[in-house]
Chain A
């Protein structure tokens, strides 16, 4: 198994931390993982992206220009990465703020209204976990129990009480994903 994923959106949407939790989940089930962020001034400009690779074997390049999955959380990122999804790959996006939806016919396009759902749940911070849930429903590359373990590993202990809420959000994302 090897899954090359790009997660892209605005800074503050939890793009990097979603990637980190995904990578930690991979470690929990003995996978090789890489997490490669964009860094530098472009981070300050508002967009953030991270490449996460999960694999059963040693990972060669942590930098790839074509992806098995693109998780897209704003229009700029969609413009930038839509063409970078491999044929037959997955493009998962949140329609919130998207003015020109993806047009590729040779990839699987899925939608998750995570921003709207997070607002309904009254907690904007679980937005990225809803997206993660949606992704894992379509591509169960890591098991939910390992995501929980990953959360335990990656979050400081003082916020471990929030893990059940995050788990709820992941489950919600699994329910509402479309396409």
Chain B
């Protein structure tokens, strides 16, 4: 039974976690995402589904608690905002190195340093290029609505378990703080012990019982074995790139100019497209939903018809690097984005696209 509600992006993460059969949440308060844990503590899921919710002493502890619960095959998650996610870099690397599934939600804010609590999209590099030491990737989903904030909790866990890899929802302060209409999925029960044994018994630490022991580790001192392991990881990422690309195109069929944007910038970009179309400019919106794997191929497929691409991000220009890798040097690309916590207006995006257009024609 689904249900319609008006909810904040942060609140809906908590609701979706419970509904998707999550086993544990560990977190540490930080603006602008504290409502995630606050909502969980209000909802008291340990009394209904048996889900654990615990306030940890730090983001470092949170991610390591997630690592522990994930080691036992549980659906474990945390949420934080940019500076807190920096602290989780170590844990994320260990999770990826031990091939553990989990969900990390980053409701990002402006940096560097303590930065600002206002919205930002300056964590793209951190999220998509690893965000910790070693050759690894997170599966990164970028919601651009409260509904997607809800839906991607389910999707992220499914992908994380499918590939035994940490997944991240990279949101921003706007998506976290705003309320929208959201349709809540009907609840999915938590895995029973039997289901869990069947699904993850081959690797999870659940007490060795009638099998040989399982060991969760990322250490391997033999270079030859470690190289093989790294090759296996890369093969997994190649498969993810092949199968899990998600994106959305709006008014792209006849577009001469593309606005490439994710998250809140995609919403603002969509409005800019509406305004540009009203003025007769053939603009379209290309919205990556998976930031890793980046939708390079579908974007490249559009390149032939385009005169230019405007990347709109609440940053100094990060995703634009992947856009350029996707389309090569044959197409003019430009970045537009406010940062420091200022949110660009649709009109500013329109002006930036017109500037690009003037340079192209």
Contact = CB atoms under 8 A, between A and B. Distances in A.
Interface string A31-73: 0111111011100000000000000000111111100000000
A117 to B, nearest CB: 27
B270 A63 contact: no
A61 B343 CA distance: 11
A61 B181 contact: no
A127 interface: no
B340 to A, nearest CB: 13
Interface in A79-133: none
Given A20-B6, A39-B32, A62-B174, A34 B180 contact: yes
Q: Which of A24, A32, A39 has the most CB of B within 10 A?
A: A39
Contacts of B345: 63-65
Contact of B178 (A35, A40, A64, A65): A35
Contacts of B274: 60
Contact of A63 (B174, B180, B181): B174
A26 B179 CA distance: 13
Chain A interface helix/strand/loop/mixed: mixed
Interface residues of A, number: 23
A171 B120 CA distance: 42
Contacts of B179: 20, 23, 33-36
Nearest to B346: A61
B347 interface: yes
B140 interface: no
Given A39-B32, A154-B6, A62 B178 contact: yes
A141 B221 CA distance: 67
Contacts of A20: 6, 179
Interface in B180-207: 180-181
Contacts of B178: 34-37, 62
B63 interface: no
A114 B303 CA distance: 56
A153 interface: yes
Nearest to B176: A39
A67 to B, nearest CB: 12
Given A27-B4, A60-B274, A33 B267 contact: no
A61 B31 contact: no
Given A39-B32, A61-B271, A33 B180 contact: yes
A40 B267 contact: no
B101 to A, nearest CB: 32
Contacts of A61: 267-268, 270-271, 346
A32 B181 CA distance: 7
Interface string A151-164: 00110000000000
A32 to B, nearest CB: 6
Contacts of B181: 23, 26-27, 32-33
Nearest to B32: A39
Interface string A1-30: 000000000000000000010011011000
Contacts of B296: none
A153 B3 CA distance: 12
A64 B271 contact: yes
A39 B179 CA distance: 13
Interface in B302-349: 343, 345-347
Contacts of A39: 32, 117, 173, 177
Contacts of B264: 62-63
A61 B285 CA distance: 13
B6 A40 contact: no
A37 B347 contact: no
A33 B347 CA distance: 21
A33 B6 contact: yes
Contacts of A154: 6
Q: Which of A32, A60, A61 has the most CB of B within 10 A?
A: A61
Interface string B108-128: 000000000110000000000
Nearest to A52: B179
Contacts of B31: 40
Contacts of A62: 174, 178, 180, 264, 267
Q: Which of A26, A65, A154 has the most CB of B within 10 A?
A: A65
22 contacts: A20-B6, A23-B6, A23-B179, A27-B181, A32-B181, A33-B180, A34-B179, A36-B177, A36-B179, A40-B118, A59-B267, A61-B267, A61-B271, A61-B346, A62-B174, A62-B267, A63-B267, A63-B345, A64-B271, A64-B346, A65-B346, A153-B6
Q: What 10 A-B pairs have minimum CB-CB distances, sorted nearest first?
A: A61-B271, A60-B270, A35-B179, A60-B271, A36-B178, A65-B345, A61-B268, A61-B267, A40-B117, A27-B181
Interface of A: 20, 23-24, 26-27, 32-37, 39-41, 59-65, 153-154
Interface of B: 4-6, 31-32, 117-118, 173-174, 177-181, 264, 267-268, 270-271, 273-274, 343, 345-347
